Structure 1
Amino acid sequence: MYIACGETELARVVFDEIRRPNVFLWNAMIRSYSWNGPADRAIELYHRMRECGVRPDKFTFPFVLKACSGLSVIGEGKAIHDHARSVGLDSDIYVSTALVDMYAKCGCLADCYDVFDKMPERDVVAWNAMIAGFSLSGFYEEMFDLVVGMQRDGKALNSSTVVALLPAIGQRKGLHHGKSIHGYSLRRGFNEGCVLVGTALLDMYGKCECLDYARRVFDLLDIKNEVTWSAMIGAFVFCNRMEEAIEMFDRMAFVENLNPTPTILGSVLRACSSLSNICRGKRIHGFSIKFGFDFNMVVGNSLISLYSKGGHIDEAIKFFDGMASRDTISYSAIISGCVQNGDAEEALSLFRKMQSYDIEPDIATMVNIIPACSQLAALQLGRSSHCYVIIRGFAFETPIVNALIDMYSKCGKVNLAREVFDRKEDKDIVSWNAMISGYGIHGHGLEAISMFLDLQKTALKPDYVTFICLLSACSHSGLVTEGKLWFHRMTQEFNIVPRMEHFICMVDMLGRGGLLDEAFDFTREMPFQPDVHVWGALLSACRIHGNIRLGVLVSEKIQNLGPEGTENFVLLSNLYSAAGKWDEAACVRIVQKYKGFKKSPGCSWIVVKGTVHGFVGGDRSHPQFVEIYKALENLLQKMKKLGYWADTSFVFQDVEEEEKEQALLCHSEKLAIAYGILNLGTEQPIFVTKNLRVCGDCHTAIKFITKVTNREITVRDANRFHHFKNGVCSCSDFW
C-alpha cells in the first residue's frame, strides 16, 4: 500500500520490521527504489538480500539492473551480471533484456551486443533496448540496421521504437527518415493520444529546423505535458526564433497555468540572453526562485550566461559564487562572461580554481580560456593552453584551432599562428578569417592579400567578415589603392553587400592615408546614414593629421547622432590641445564630464615569469616603482645623447615644457618596458600590451630604447602590433 502511494520510506519502515521477508517483498522494495529513487538504495538492498541468504529470482535482476543503468555504475552492473550468470538466469528473456538496457545506457555497446546476440529469443522490448542504446550513442546507420533486423525477425515497430529512433534522427538532421517515421506512426495510429510520440516528433522537426511542422504537431496534440512544452520552446530557441520562444513560455505559464521545469526555464533564459533582454531575464530568474529551481544546474548555468552576455558580469560572478554545486558548463559560462566583458585576469583565476576542484575543462572551456590569453597577450599561458588541448586530444577541433590562430597572432607570434593554420586540413572560413586578421594587425598587408588569394583556390567562399579582415589589413599597411580595389570587387564579383563595418574600414584607411577630404566625401555617399563609429574613424584621422577644420565638422556630426562615446570627446579635446587651443579643449572636457563620459586611463601590461603586471600613467603603486623611475631617467639621458627629444605636443595640458617631458616619461607603456628591462634577461625580448593607441612620443622613444638597450620590444596597442628593433618599427610609422 505504501509503495503504491509513493511512500517508499514508510514502506521501508514496515519492511525492516519483518523478521524474514520473502523474495517477493525484497523485490517490491528494490523495485520501488529503482523507480522512485534514490537508486543507490536499490543496489544496497540487493546486496543485503544476498547477505541474508535470499536467492534473487528473474524479477530481482531487472529491478536492480535498472538502478545500475540510472546511476551509470557499470562496475556494479557487471558484478550483478556475473551473479545472474552464476545462478543460471542470465539467459532469461527479462534478465537478458534488462542487461541489454543497462549496457546500452552505460555506453558499453560491445557488451550490449554480446548479450543480445546470445539471447535464445528476443521480444520487442529487447529490440527497443538495443535500438535505444545505439540511438543514444549516436550510431545512426547501425541503429537503422537494427530496425531492419527487427522487422526481419517478425517484430513490428511500436511507439517505444519510434520514440527511441527520433532523437538520433533529430541530432543527425535526417529529415527524410524523420518524415518516414512520422508517416509510419500515422498509419499505426501512434500519434492519437500518445504524448510521447507527439513530443518526440515535434522535437525531431525542431532539430531539423522544420519549425512549421513542429508547430503543427504541437497544435494537433490533445494532451500536452511539461516535456511537450519544453520541446516546443526548445525548438524555437534552436531555430533562433527567440521572441516566439518567450511568447510560448508566457502562454504555458499564464494561459495554461502549467508550472515550468528547469529545462523550460533554461531554454527561455537562453532566449532572453540572445535578445539581451536582461529585464525579462530577471523576471524568469524570479520564476526560478519561486519554484525552487534557481540553484538547479541547468537554470544556474543559463542565468550566468544571461547576466554575462548582458554586461552584468558582477551579478554573474555573485550568482556563480552562491551556487551550491558547479560543473564544467558553469565554469565555462562564467569564464566566457569574464572574457566577453574584458576581464581576462578574472577568467584565468576562475580557470585555476576550476582545476583545483578537479573539474576537467572541456572544449568549450578552452575555447574561452585561449582568448583570455589573447587579451592579456600572455604567450606563456597561451602555450600552456595549447599543450593542454594537445594532451586532451582537442588540438585539431576547429573552434580550438581558430582560437589558437587568434591567440598566437595577438601574442605577437604570427608565424606560430600560421603553423597552426597550416596543420589544420579541414579549415572553415573562420580559420581563414583569423589568419587574414592576424596578418593585418601585424601590418603584413601583402601577406593578408596573398592569404585571401589562396582562399579563393579552395571550395570555401569569402563572407562579409573576410572582407572586414582584408580591408582592415590594407588600412593598417597603408595599402590604399589595394583596399579600394578589394572594396569594389567585394560588391561586383562576390556579391557581398557592404555593411557598416566595411565602410568604417574604408574611412579609416583613407583617413590614415591622409586622404581626409576623400574620406569625408566617401561617408556622404554611403547608401545609409553613417553611424558614430564611421565618423569616429574620420575624427581619429583628423587628430593624426592635425586637421582642426574637418575635425570640428565631424565632431558636430557625431554629437547630432549621440550617444557620442568617450573616445570621440577625447579625440576632439586632444585635437584642440595639439594645436594649442587650450580653451576649446577645456570646453570639450567640460561637456564630456557634464554628459557623464569618463576617459579610460591608459593601461599597459607585461607578463614576467607567468605573472601579469599592470601599469597606468604616472603609476607609483608597483613595489618596484622607485627602481622603475630611476631606470627611466637613465634611459632618458642615454636617449638624448642619441638625438631623442620629447614631443610635448602629445601632452594635452597647458603646463611648462619640463612638466610635459616628465608627464611623457610616465606613460604606462614606458613604465611597463622599464619593468621588463629590470626583470627580464638581457637576451629576452620585451612584450607589452596597451589598451589605447600608442602616442607618437612613446613610439619614437621606444625606437630609441631598442638602440640603447640592444633588445627587441613589441607593443600591442588598441589598433595593431609594433615590432621595434634597432631603432625601427615594423609599422613604418604608419598606425
Structure 2
Amino acid sequence: MDALHSLQLQCYFKAQKSIYRSQHRQSSIVQAQLQGSSKFVEAAAIHHKFDEIPLSDTFAWNNLIQNHLTSGNSYHVMWIYQQMLLRTVRPDKHTIPRVLTASRLSGSLSYGKQVHGQALKLGLGSDEYVITALMTMYGHLDCAEAARWLFNQSSRRNSVSWTLLAGLYMKEDKPSLAIDIFNQMVELGVEIDEVALATVIGACGRLKSLQEGKRIHDIARKSELEFKVLVSNSLLKMYLDCGSIKDARTVFYQMPSRDAISWTAMVRGYVKNGGFNEGLKLFRLMISAGIKPDAFAVSSVLPACARISAHKHGKEIHGYIVRTGINLNLAVQNAVMDMYVKSGCMESASKIFAGMSERDTVSWTVMILGHSLHGHGEIAIELFHEMEKSTDIEPDQTAYVAAVHACSTARMVEEGRFYFNCIRLPKVEHYALMVNLLARAGLFDEARAFSENFQIEQCLEVQKALLDGCRIHQNTKLGKRIIEHLCELEPLNTENYILLSNLYAASAKWDMVDRLRATIRDMGLRPQKAYSWIEVRNKVHVFGVGDVSHPRSEGIYWELQCLMKKMEEEYEFVPDADFSLHDVDEERECIPIGHSELLAISFGLISTQGRATIRVTKNLRVCHNCHYSAKLISKIVEREIVLKDPNRFHHFKNGYCSCGDFW
C-alpha cells in the first residue's frame, strides 16, 4: 500500500507540473530573499532536517512550518513548503492556512493565489480553516470585497468567517458595512460571540452612532456577553467615542473585572471630555487597584495635568514613570514635556528636550509653541531655525503655525509673513493668526487688506483677531465698528459685548461700559463667569468672583487687603472699582480685590512657604488691573507668580511680566 500511495502521489504532482514551474519561480524569489544573509545559512541547516522526516509524516512538516511562522520567518515557511512539495509530501488542512498566513505576512498576493489553487486541487477549498485563512489573505493583500466574494462562494460559513469579514471592512474604514454584516448574522441566527460584538461595537464608535451602539449593547446584554472583558472594553470605548461619558462611566463601574485597557480608556475619556480632575483621580485609583499603567495610560493622563496646570500632579506622574521603569518612548517624553510647558514650567520642559536622544516634529513644535506661549517669541524662532539646520526633520504644518504664533508674540511681522506662506492649504484659523500678527503690530490697514484679499473678512475668528489688536492699541473707533459687525453676525453672543466692554475699559471709558452692561441686562444675556484655580498639596482649589465659600476665605481676603494697602502706600496704585465685565456678577458690582485670579494668588501665598512659585490658571483673559496688581505683588512678596489665561502665560517676577504688558 505504501508503494501504491507513493505512486499515486507522484502521478498527482506530475499533473501539477505547470503549477510547480510557477512555484519554482517563486522559490527563486524566496531564495533571493534569503541569499546574502544569516537566514540563508539557517535555511541550509534546516535542509538537513528534511531527510530525517518520513515522506508520509505531514504532521512533522506542519510543526516545522509552524515553528518558523511563530518566529516570524515568513520566507522560511514558503521555502519549506516548496521543499515539502518537491518531496511529494501531501499538504493537509493544517498546512495550507499556515502557508497562506506566511504569504500574507510577506505581502505576496501572487504566491497566495497559487496556494489557493493548490488547495482547490487538493479538495481543501471548502475547509473552514482554509476559507478563513484565504479570506484573511485576500482581505489584507487585495480588498475586503475579494474576501466577501470568497465568503459568498463558500457553503460553510461560521461565526469566525462572518466576524472576519466585518473586521476587514473595519480595516478599510467602512464601519457601516461592518454593521450590515453583523445585522445579517443576527437575522440568520448565526451564533454571536464576544469577538463579533467587539467588532460591531467598534464600528458604532467609529461612526459615533450612539443610538446604534445602544442597540448593539442591548444585544450583548441579551446574549449574556455584556460583561466579557473584551465586550465591556469595547462598549466603554464606543460610549467615549460617542461623547457619552455618563454611559461610559456606568459600564466601567458595572464591570465585574477591569484590566489596564478598561482603566486607561476611562482615564482618557475623562480627560478628552474635559473631566481633568476626574481623570487624575481615576489614574490614582488605578495605581491603588494594583494596575500598572503603561506608556499609553501615562500619555493619556498627562494632558489633564497640563490643562489645569496641576504641576505637582504632573511632576509626581513623571517621577512614577522613572521609578517604575515605564517605557519612556518618544510619545511619553513628548507628553511629559508638553505637560511641563502647559503647567508653566519651561525650565523642566527644556531639560527634558535637551536630554532627548531622539526628537520628532512634535518634540520641536511643543518647545517652539511653549516658548511662544511663555512670551519668548525670539527664542521660539531661534529654535525653529535650529530644527531646520540641525536635523533632517522637515517642519510640518503644525510647526509652521507654531512659528507664526511665535512671530505674533514677538511682533516679528516679516518673519511671520514668510512662515505663513510656507503653510500649505491654510485654514481659517491660520488666516486669523496672520491677521492677529498684523493687528498686534498696529498694522490695521494691512490686516484688513489681507482679510479682504483672501475673502475672509466675514469670519468670526478674523474679526476677533482684529479686535484683539484694537484692544492692545486702544483703537476704539475701529474696534467699535468691528464689534457692531460681530453683533450683526451673532446678535445673541454675550462674548461680543464683553469684547467691546473690555475695549472701552482699556481706554477708561466707564460710561460706555455701564451702557453695555445695561444693554446686556435688557437683552437677558449672561456674561461668562470667571474662574481661577490653583494646585496646593495635590489638591486643586477653584475660586469664582467674590468667592467666600473657601474655608480660608477670611485669611485670603485679609492677605489681599494688606497687599492692596502696600501697593497704595508704596506705589500709589489704586485699582479701578469697575472695569471688567467678565468679572461682574449680574446682581452686584465687584471691586478688583474679589477677582478670581487675585483670590487664587492670595490663597497660594498663605498656603505655601519660602520662595515657592505661585501657579494659577484662569478660564478668561486676565484684566489690566489684575495684571498690574500681580506685577506689584510679585515684587512685594519677592516671589514668581505664573498666571495662565486662555491665550498665554504671564510670568510675574520682580514687578515685571514676561508678556511685556502686551497681551
TM-score range, shorter chain: 0.7 to 0.9
Q: Which residue of 2 aligns with 1:704?
A: 632
Please state how far the C-alpha of 1:362 moved relative to its aligned partner: 1.7
1:522 aligned onto 2:455: no
Q: Which residue of 2 aligns with 1:163?
A: 97
Q: Is contact 2:456-2:462 (8 Å) kept?
A: no
Please state how far the C-alpha of 1:325 moved relative to its aligned partner: 1.8
1:289 aligned onto 2:217: no
Equivalent residue of 1:733, what SS? coil
Letter in 2 for 1:183: Q
Please state how far the C-alpha of 1:550 moved relative to its aligned partner: 4.3
Q: Is contact 2:413-2:441 (8 Å) kept?
A: yes
Could you say if the C-alpha distance between residues 608 and 246 of structure 1 is closer, same or farther in structure 2, counting changes exceeding 3 Å? same
Q: Which residue of 1 aligns with 2:240?
A: 308
Q: Which residue of 1 aligns with 2:310?
A: 378
Q: Which residue of 1 aligns with 2:337?
A: 405
Q: Is contact 1:632-1:674 (8 Å) kept?
A: yes
Could you say if the C-alpha distance between residues 222 and 719 of structure 1 is closer, same or farther in structure 2, counting changes exceeding 3 Å? farther
Q: Which residue of 2 aligns with 1:263?
A: 195
Tell me how far apart the structure 2 counterparts of residues 383 and 237 of structure 1 sit (CA, whole Å).
39
Equivalent residue of 1:456, what SS? helix
Q: Which residue of 1 aligns with 2:322?
A: 390
5+ unaligned residues in a row in structure 2: which ranges?
1-48
Could you say if the C-alpha distance between residues 380 and 194 of structure 1 is closer, same or farther in structure 2, counting changes exceeding 3 Å? same
Match of 2:592 among 664, 667, 670: 664
Letter in 2 for 1:485: F
Could you say if the C-alpha distance between residues 677 and 245 of structure 1 is closer, same or farther in structure 2, counting changes exceeding 3 Å? same
Tell me how far apart the structure 1 counterparts of residues 484 and 217 of structure 2 sit (CA, whole Å).
43
Q: Is contact 1:444-1:477 (8 Å) kept?
A: yes
Tell me how far apart the structure 1 counterparts of residues 141 and 382 of structure 2 sit (CA, whole Å).
39
Q: Which residues of 2 match residues 555-574 of structure 1 at below 5 A?
A: 555=483, 558=486, 567-568=495-496, 570-572=498-500, 574=502
Please state how far the C-alpha of 1:347 moved relative to its aligned partner: 0.6
Letter in 2 for 1:475: S
TM-score, normalised by the number of residues in structure 1 = 0.73
Tell me how far apart the structure 1 counterparts of residues 523 and 91 of structure 2 sit (CA, whole Å).
75
Q: Is contact 1:309-1:340 (8 Å) kept?
A: no
Could you say if the C-alpha distance between residues 624 and 437 of structure 1 is closer, same or farther in structure 2, counting changes exceeding 3 Å? same
1:474 aligned onto 2:407: yes
Q: Is contact 2:650-2:658 (8 Å) kept?
A: yes
Tell me how far apart the structure 2 counterparts of residues 563 and 302 of structure 1 sit (CA, whole Å).
43
1:420 aligned onto 2:352: yes
Q: Which residue of 2 aligns with 1:193?
A: 126
Could you say if the C-alpha distance between residues 562 and 175 of structure 1 is closer, same or farther in structure 2, counting changes exceeding 3 Å? farther
Could you say if the C-alpha distance between residues 684 and 655 of structure 1 is closer, same or farther in structure 2, counting changes exceeding 3 Å? closer
Equivalent residue of 2:543, what SS? strand
Please state how far the C-alpha of 1:665 moved relative to its aligned partner: 1.0
Q: Is contact 1:150-1:156 (8 Å) kept?
A: no
Deviation by residue 1:391-411 (Cα, 9 ceiling, x = unmatched):
444443122122112111112
Q: Which residue of 2 aligns with 1:180?
A: 111
Letter in 1 for 2:371: Y
Q: Which residue of 2 aligns with 1:332?
A: 264
Q: How many residues align?
A: 600
Tell me how far apart the structure 2 counterparts of residues 216 and 577 of structure 1 sit (CA, whole Å).
71
Equivalent residue of 1:304, what SS? helix
Q: Which residue of 1 aligns with 2:545?
A: 617
Q: Is contact 1:474-1:509 (8 Å) kept?
A: yes
Letter in 1 for 2:164: A
Q: Which residue of 1 aligns with 2:24?
A: none
Q: Which residues of 2 match residues 345-364 of structure 1 at below 5 A?
A: 345-364=277-296
Q: Which residue of 1 aligns with 2:615?
A: 687
Equivalent residue of 2:639, what SS? coil
Please state how far the C-alpha of 1:648 moved relative to its aligned partner: 4.5
Q: Which residue of 2 aligns with 1:145?
A: 76
Q: Is contact 2:545-2:583 (8 Å) kept?
A: no
Equivalent residue of 2:535, what SS? strand
Equivalent residue of 1:692, what SS? coil
Tell me how far apart the structure 2 counterparts of residues 209 and 607 of structure 1 sit (CA, whole Å).
55
Q: Which residue of 1 aligns with 2:655?
A: 727
5+ unaligned residues in a row in structure 1: which ranges?
1-116, 491-495
Tell me how far apart the structure 1 counterparts of residues 218 and 385 of structure 2 sit (CA, whole Å).
53
Could you say if the C-alpha distance between residues 203 and 437 of structure 1 is closer, same or farther in structure 2, counting changes exceeding 3 Å? farther
Could you say if the C-alpha distance between residues 145 and 423 of structure 1 is closer, same or farther in structure 2, counting changes exceeding 3 Å? farther
Please state how far the C-alpha of 1:547 moved relative to its aligned partner: 4.6
Tell me how far apart the structure 2 counterparts of residues 332 and 563 of structure 1 sit (CA, whole Å).
43
Please state how far the C-alpha of 1:426 moved relative to its aligned partner: 3.9
Could you say if the C-alpha distance between residues 381 and 129 of structure 1 is closer, same or farther in structure 2, counting changes exceeding 3 Å? farther
Please state how far the C-alpha of 1:486 moved relative to its aligned partner: 0.8
Letter in 2 for 1:652: L
Tell me how far apart the structure 1 counterparts of residues 124 and 493 of structure 2 sit (CA, whole Å).
58
Could you say if the C-alpha distance between residues 632 and 358 of structure 1 is closer, same or farther in structure 2, counting changes exceeding 3 Å? same
Q: Which residue of 1 aligns with 2:230?
A: 298
Q: Is contact 1:576-1:584 (8 Å) kept?
A: no
Match of 1:511 among 432, 439, 455: 439
Q: Which residue of 2 aligns with 1:7?
A: none
Equivalent residue of 2:448, what SS? helix
Could you say if the C-alpha distance between residues 706 and 179 of structure 1 is closer, same or farther in structure 2, counting changes exceeding 3 Å? farther
Tell me how far apart the structure 1 counterparts of residues 194 and 357 of structure 2 sit (CA, whole Å).
40
Tell me how far apart the structure 2 counterparts of residues 563 and 311 of structure 1 sit (CA, whole Å).
29
Could you say if the C-alpha distance between residues 383 and 701 of structure 1 is closer, same or farther in structure 2, counting changes exceeding 3 Å? same
Tell me how far apart the structure 1 counterparts of residues 100 and 482 of structure 2 sit (CA, whole Å).
59
Please state how far the C-alpha of 1:726 moved relative to its aligned partner: 0.7
Tell me how far apart the structure 2 counterparts of residues 390 and 712 of structure 1 sit (CA, whole Å).
28
Letter in 2 for 1:314: K
Q: Is contact 2:577-2:592 (8 Å) kept?
A: yes
Could you say if the C-alpha distance between residues 401 and 203 of structure 1 is closer, same or farther in structure 2, counting changes exceeding 3 Å? farther
Tell me how far apart the structure 2 counterparts of residues 163 and 563 of structure 1 sit (CA, whole Å).
66
Tell me how far apart the structure 2 counterparts of residues 508 and 517 of structure 1 sit (CA, whole Å).
12
Equivalent residue of 2:651, what SS? strand
Please state how far the C-alpha of 1:253 moved relative to its aligned partner: 4.3
Tell me how far apart the structure 2 counterparts of residues 412 and 703 of structure 1 sit (CA, whole Å).
17
TM-score, normalised by the number of residues in structure 2 = 0.80
Q: Which residues of 2 match residues 456-475 of structure 1 at below 5 A?
A: 456-457=388-389, 458-475=391-408
Q: Which residue of 2 aligns with 1:484?
A: 417
Q: Is contact 2:442-2:473 (8 Å) kept?
A: yes
Equivalent residue of 2:611, what SS? coil
Deviation by residue 1:174-222 (Cα, 9 ceiling, x = unmatched):
423x552343233332873234334334445555685555555555545
Equivalent residue of 1:724, what SS? strand
Equivalent residue of 1:272, what SS? helix
Q: Which residue of 1 aligns with 2:34?
A: none
Could you say if the C-alpha distance between residues 421 and 227 of structure 1 is closer, same or farther in structure 2, counting changes exceeding 3 Å? farther
Q: Is contact 1:202-1:215 (8 Å) kept?
A: yes
Please state how far the C-alpha of 1:621 moved relative to its aligned partner: 1.6
Could you say if the C-alpha distance between residues 726 and 179 of structure 1 is closer, same or farther in structure 2, counting changes exceeding 3 Å? farther
1:369 aligned onto 2:301: yes
Equivalent residue of 1:359, what SS? coil
Tell me how far apart the structure 1 counterparts of residues 216 and 60 of structure 2 sit (CA, whole Å).
42
Tell me how far apart the structure 2 counterparts of residues 220 and 553 of structure 1 sit (CA, whole Å).
70
Tell me how far apart the structure 2 counterparts of residues 563 and 165 of structure 1 sit (CA, whole Å).
68
Equivalent residue of 1:140, what SS? coil
Tell me how far apart the structure 1 counterparts of residues 100 and 503 of structure 2 sit (CA, whole Å).
65
Could you say if the C-alpha distance between residues 293 and 586 of structure 1 is closer, same or farther in structure 2, counting changes exceeding 3 Å? farther
Higher RCO (CA-CA < 8 Å; seq separation 6+): 2
Letter in 2 for 1:324: P
Letter in 2 for 1:687: R
